[in-house]
Copies of this chain bind each other. A is one copy, B any other.
Amino acid sequence: MTTPPQAQAIAERELCGLVNGLAAQISDHVRRRAVTLGLTAAQATALRELTGPMTTRDLAERMSCEPSNATFVIDKLEKQGLVERHPHPTDRRAKLLVLTDDGVALRERLLGLLTQESPLAGLTAEQQRTLQELLEKTVARP
């Protein structure tokens, strides 16, 4: 049973809408939790992705945004004393982003909040695995 190309195109557009919708829902979830900690959604996302010391470029990659945007967000976090820019040990162009003690503590609180009422809670662990596999197939395209 082959699907006509036009119907296929429509289905693909709907799928885009669904992905977009879920992303918006996740972003909303982050935003609502973040404000209770005095953070914006972007700042919270950066904090969430700072799993350890990394370069600005690496963070931008994890945030799925441009490096210039990561610079902007890191500026804010730095002003709040949550992150510091350290010199990179081997590359003098790069900077290592390192959480301060305050940053680590706030990140812990944030992660705790984010696991509550996650938009993905409607799926079983099995379904989440399936979803993850499908998304990885799509995202990892050279």
Interface of A is mostly: helix
Q: Which residue of B lies closest to A65 (CB)?
A: B24
Alpha-carbon distance A134/B132, docked complex (angstroms): 11
A37 interfacial by beta-carbon distance below 8 Å: no
A71 interfacial by beta-carbon distance below 8 Å: no
Within 8 A of B (CB), among A46-95: 48-49, 62, 64-65
Question: A10 to chain B: closest CB distance in Å?
Answer: 9
Knowing A3-B125, A14-B132 touch, does A115 contact B9 (C-beta < 8 A)? yes
Chain B residues within an 8 Å CB radius of A16:
26, 118, 120
A35 interfacial by beta-carbon distance below 8 Å: no
Q: Is the CB of A132 within 8 A of B26?
A: no
